[in-house]
A and B are shown apart, each in its own frame.
Chain A
Amino acid sequence: MFTDQVEEANLDAQDPEYLDLLRRVVAIQADCEIGGPHLYVDTILPSAPTQTDQLVVARTAAEEIDHFRKFARIAGDIGVDTSYILSRPNQERYLEAFRGAITTWEDFAVFGFLIDRVGRYQLEEFAGCTYAPLSRILEHPSRVMEEEAGHIDYGTTRTAEMAARGGEALERVQRSVDFWYRTALDMFGRSESRRAERYRFWGLKRRTNEQARQQYVAEVNPLIQGMGLQVPDQMTGRKYV
């Protein structure tokens, strides 16, 4: 296992596989950060239920753009131009979760509740990783983790509120949970991914895909049940197991 702390100044001395994986993971993270706003800004910002909700949507988008900026800067500094990511069609995003569009308030709330939570798991992988500039994105004074936690809390609260109304509202939220839950589980990747093992070897990730997925399930299932919702089957509709 590789345990060095690599700075930008000594990247040239690193193994080509390390550089390849570092460039890839940073580019994917940048894509995910800007992928969220591309799903909901056009549709949800004008249609959110209240002015406060509209402003929270705008603030969420601003924070995700800032997260993109930080990852894009790291990518740029190691020779990867991610500026094209800002204008690529949603259908071309790295992860399927970002390839559609969010058109309902329920989907926006559940996206925060379930998908931003997966994002937090991914970011946690970088804490203390072998590329020091990447690890520093998560450390004080950066507020990336706090901001992501805010998105998750907001989505969780709004989801719970809608579910508590019962009736049609509850049914709509359940449909959103059914869709985003399986999408969330797929975001962790294949359990037998060889690339994931190489990320771990080079100290760019800590957990296996399956470990992270099961920790997520253990965290989120009780929350779903606590809202009076049904936990979807873990295998139904899955693409990456």
Chain B
Amino acid sequence: MVHPTPTAQPLDDYLREVVQTLRAAVTQGLRHVEDDPRAAGQRISDCEEILAEIMAGNVQEWIAVSSP
């Protein structure tokens, strides 16, 4: 029998949210590159922080946080 893994849904939910946050930060950053480099720099820092967490890959922590 084929059964879904316990992490399938919560990991999907968590990463979906992370990607949305990252996309929003990138969009805001690109909007400010020309007129406000400091604001763009802040969005880049936000991206670095989020991506560092994803690259660390502590999945059990993410899922524990996102579970009700």
Contact residues of A with B, CB < 8 Å? 8, 11-12, 19, 37-38, 41-42, 45-46, 50-52, 54-55, 58-59, 61-63, 65-66, 68-69, 72-73, 75-81, 83-84, 86-88
Judge whether B40 and A45 touch: CB under 8 Å. Answer: no
Residues of A within 8 A of B67 (CB): none
Known: A37-B55, A51-B29, A87-B59. A80 touches B23 (CB 8 A): no
Q: Is B2 positioned at the interface, with any CB of A under 8 Å from its CB?
A: yes
User: How many residues of chain B get a CB closer than 8 Å to chain A's CBs?
Assistant: 36
A-B contact pairs, 13 of them (CB 8 A): A11-B2, A41-B52, A41-B55, A46-B48, A55-B40, A58-B22, A62-B19, A63-B19, A65-B18, A65-B19, A65-B22, A76-B7, A83-B11
Main secondary structure of the interface of A (DSSP, over half): helix
Known: A52-B33, A58-B47. A69 touches B16 (CB 8 A): yes
Judge whether B44 and A78 touch: CB under 8 Å. Answer: no
1/0 contact string of B43-58 vs chain A (CB within 8 Å): 1100110011011111
Residues of A within 8 A of B65 (CB): none
Residues of B within 8 A of A80 (CB): 5
Judge whether A51 and B37 touch: CB under 8 Å. Answer: yes
Judge whether A76 and B4 touch: CB under 8 Å. Answer: yes
The total of interchain contacts (Cβ-Cβ below 8 angstroms) comes to 111
**Complex CA distance for A84 and B11, rounded to whole angstroms:** 11
List 15 additional contacts besides A45-B47, A73-B8, A83-B59; criterion CB under 8 Å.
A37-B51, A37-B55, A42-B52, A46-B48, A52-B33, A55-B30, A55-B47, A58-B26, A59-B22, A66-B15, A69-B16, A69-B19, A73-B11, A76-B7, A77-B4
Determine the residue in chain A with the shortest Cβ distance to B11. A83
Residue from B7, B9, B11, B33 in contact with A55 in the complex, judged by beta carbons closer than 8 Å: B33
Most chain-A CB neighbours within 10 Å: which of B8, B11, B29? Answer: B8
Residues of B within 8 A of A38 (CB): 55
B57 to chain A, nearest CB (A): 3
B65 to chain A, nearest CB (A): 14
A51 to chain B, nearest CB (A): 5
Judge whether A86 and B57 touch: CB under 8 Å. Answer: yes
Residue from B2, B37, B51 in contact with A41 in the complex, judged by beta carbons closer than 8 Å: B51
Judge whether A51 and B2 touch: CB under 8 Å. Answer: no
Q: Is B64 positioned at the interface, with any CB of A under 8 Å from its CB?
A: no
Determine the residue in chain B with the shortest Cβ distance to A66. B19
Residues of A within 8 A of B43 (CB): 55
**Complex CA distance for A52 and B32, rounded to whole angstroms:** 10
Judge whether A61 and B56 touch: CB under 8 Å. Answer: no
Judge whether B51 and A83 touch: CB under 8 Å. Answer: no
Residues of B within 8 A of A73 (CB): 8, 11-12
